[in-house]
Structure 1
Amino acid sequence: MNQDVIITCAINGAADTAERNKHVPVTPEQIANSAIEAWNAGAAIAHIHVRDPETTQGSRRVELYAEVCERLRASSCDIVINLTAGMGGDLYIGPDENPTAFTQDTDLVGAHERLVHIEQLKPEICTLDCGSLNFGDSNLVYVSTPEMLRIGAARIQELGVTVELEIFDTGNLWFALQMMKEGLLDDNAMFQLCQGIPWGTPPNFALLKGMVDMLPANTSWTAFALGRNQLPWVAQSALLGGHVRVGLEDNLYLGKGVLATNGQLVERSVNIIENMGARILNPTEAREKLGLRGIQ
C-alpha cells in the first residue's frame, strides 16, 4: 500500500457535462477557482482542460489555457498545474455508406499542434494519450498513432515538461513502455491508468493489478475509474501502491442523485486515504516525490 499519496483533481474534462452538473467549471475564472477549491481540500495536482465559454464545449484555444494559468500563478495557491495535451484527436467517421465523409465535429490535428499551449505555457506536467480508441457508441474514434506519439513524446521531452502517460488499454501501456525503451520518456514519466471509459479497459480490479504488474519498478502511477467507481478506485489505487485521481472530469456525483463539486470529491478521497492510515502529500512534497521542476 502507498503510505504517501498524491491527489490529482481532474477539474472539468472536455465531455458535454456542463449542463448535467452546474458545478462543472467552464470559464477560465471558474476553472481556476475550482482548482483552488480542490487545493484547499487537499489536492496537490490540478489536471485541466479548457472550454469555450460560449458553447461550454472543449477547446484548444491557447489564450484560455493562458488565463487559467495566470490566475493560478497569481494566487496564493501552489497547486501543480497539469494541462491536457489530448485535445485534437477526435475523428468522427461518416455514415456507413460514406465513412470518409468526416463530420463537422471532427477535430484532428498533428502531434505538434496538440502541444502549442504546452510550448507557450510550460506547465509542470502535461498528458500524452497513448493510443487510439473507439470512444463511446457512435462513430467517434480518438486518434493517437504510434508516429504521433513518438513525435509528441520527443517534443515534450525537449520542453522539459514532465509527461503523464494516459493509458486507456493494455496496448497503450505496451506502447508507452516501448517509448521508454526508445529513450523518448524521462525517468520521472508518470502513468495514469484510466478505467471505465467505453471502450477501453473496464473498471475491473484484476485488470488494474495486471497493468500495475507491467509497470517498471519505482514508477509513479495513478489509477482512476469513471462514475460510481471513482471513489472506490481511490482505495483500490492506494492499496496497490499508486496515487489517486478524482474530479468532475470523471464523475459528477458525490452519491446517488447528489451532484458534487471538485472540493467535495477531494475531501471524500482525503477521508478514504487517511482512514486507511496513509498520508496526503501537499504540492511541495508532490513536486519532490515526482521530480518536478517547480513553478516557473
Structure 2
Amino acid sequence: MISEVFITCAITGGGGAPRQKNVPVTPEQIAESAIEATRAGAAAVHLHVRDLKTREGSLDPALWRDVVQRIRRSDVNPVLNLTTGEGCGIVLGGPEAPLPLASGTWMATASERLVHIEELRPEICTLDCGSKSGKGHVEGVMINTVGMLRAMAARCKEIGVKPELEVFDTGHLVLANDLVKDGLIDGVPLYQFCMGTGNGAPTDLTTLMAMVHLLPKQAIYSAFSIGPMQLPYAALSPLAGANVRVGLEDNLYLSRGRLATNAELVRRAVEILERMGVRVLSPDEMREKLKLKVHA
C-alpha cells in the first residue's frame, strides 16, 4: 500500500459521440469541467477534444488550443495530460472480405497525432502501448505499431513531454517495458493500467497484481477500471501501490441511475481515499513526484 496518491480525472473520452448529456463536448464545457475537477481535488486532467458537429474525438489543433488556453488562464493549475490516442483505428470489411477497409477507419501518422503536443507542450501525453480489438464494433481494431510508438516516444523525449504509458493488456506492458529499456522514456517511467476495457485485461485483482509485478522497480503507476468498478478501484489502487484515475471518460454514474459530473467523481474518490488514511497530492506535489517539465 502507498500512503499518498495523485488523482487524474479523465474529462471526456474520444471515439464515438457520447450518448449521455453529462459528458462535456465543446472546448468551453471540457475546460470548465477540468477546472471544476481540479478544484475538487484532481492533480491532473486527462483530455480529449470533440468535433463540434459530429461530437466525436478529434485532433483539430484549434480545439486543443482553445481547451488548453482556457485551463491555463484559470485560477487552477492542474497537470495537463493530453491524449495522442485519436487517429489509430481501422474497421475491417468483414470476416470474409476484410479489405477494403470500412467506414470509420481513421489512421493518422505519428507526426499528426503529436501536432497538439508539439504546439501546447503539456507536461504529460498518453501513449497507447499496443493494438486491441474493439468490443463495440466487432470489426474495429485500435492500431498502434511498434514503429509508430517508438517514433512518438522518441519525439516526446526530444520536446520534454513525459509519456503516460497506457497499458490495456499484458502484451502492451511488454511493449511499454521495451520502450523504457531502450532509453526512449526519460526519468521515472509513468504507467496507466486500463482495466476492464472490452477485449483487454479484465478488472479482477489477480490480473492487476500480475501486471504490477511485471513493472520496472522504479515505475510510478496508476490504475482504473471502467463503469461501476471505477470508484471501487479508487479504493483498490493504493492497496496495489497505484495512483487513482476517475472521470466521465470511463464511467458516467455516481451511483445507480445517478449521472455524475467529473467534479463529483473526484470528490467521491477524495472522500474514499481520505477515509482510508491516504493523502491526496496537489498538482505541484504530483509535478515534483514525477519531475515533470513545465513548459508554459
TM-score tier, shorter chain, comes to: over 0.9
1:162 aligned partner, one-letter code:
K
- Tell me which residue corresponds to 1:174: 174
CA distance in 2, matches of 1:97, 1:213: 40
- Tell me which residue corresponds to 2:141: 141
Is 1:95 aligned to 2:94, yes or no?
yes
- Tell me which residue corresponds to 1:233: 233
CA distance in 2, matches of 1:120, 1:94: 36
SS where residue 166 of structure 1 aligns? strand
- C-alpha RMSD of the superposition: 1.1
Shift in Å, 1:179: 1.3
SS where residue 263 of structure 1 aligns? helix
1:95-174 maps to which residues of 2 (within 5 A)? 95-136=94-135, 137-174=137-174
Q: Is the alpha carbon distance of 1:295 and 1:160 closer, same or farther for their aligned partners in structure 2, counting shifts above 3 Å?
A: closer
The C-alpha deviation readout for 1:245-279, integer Å capped at 9, x for no partner, is: 00000000111111010011001100110011010
The C-alpha deviation readout for 1:88-112, integer Å capped at 9, x for no partner, is: 1010111233211112211112222
1:257-276 maps to which residues of 2 (within 5 A)? 257-276=257-276
- Tell me which residue corresponds to 2:192: 192
The C-alpha deviation readout for 1:226-251, integer Å capped at 9, x for no partner, is: 10010111111111111000000000
- Tell me which residue corresponds to 1:289: 289
Shift in Å, 1:4: 1.2
Conservation of the 8 A alpha-carbon contact between 2:27 and 2:63? yes
1:2 aligned partner, one-letter code:
I
Shift in Å, 1:17: 5.5
1:26-105 maps to which residues of 2 (within 5 A)? 26-105=25-104
2:217 aligned partner, one-letter code:
A
- Tell me which residue corresponds to 1:215: 215
Shift in Å, 1:82: 0.5
The C-alpha deviation readout for 1:183-221, integer Å capped at 9, x for no partner, is: 111123210000111111010111101111111123110
CA distance in 2, matches of 1:96, 1:281: 49
- Tell me which residue corresponds to 1:24: 23
Shift in Å, 1:14: 1.1
SS where residue 213 of structure 2 aligns? helix
CA distance in 2, matches of 1:95, 1:210: 34
- Tell me which residue corresponds to 1:10: 10
CA distance in 2, matches of 1:44, 1:9: 8
2:52 aligned partner, one-letter code:
P
**Seq. identity, %:** 49
CA distance in 2, matches of 1:43, 1:106: 34
Once structures 1 and 2 are overlaid, which stretch shifts more, 234-243 or 160-169? Answer: 234-243
Shift in Å, 1:181: 1.1
Conservation of the 8 A alpha-carbon contact between 1:162 and 1:188? no
SS where residue 102 of structure 1 aligns? coil
SS where residue 99 of structure 2 aligns? coil
Q: TM-score, normalised on structure 2?
A: 0.97
1:230 aligned partner, one-letter code:
Q
Conservation of the 8 A alpha-carbon contact between 1:95 and 1:101? no
CA distance in 1, matches of 2:282, 2:58: 30
- Tell me which residue corresponds to 1:277: 277
CA distance in 1, matches of 2:207, 2:187: 25
Which ranges of structure 2 fall in alignment gaps of 5 or more residues? none
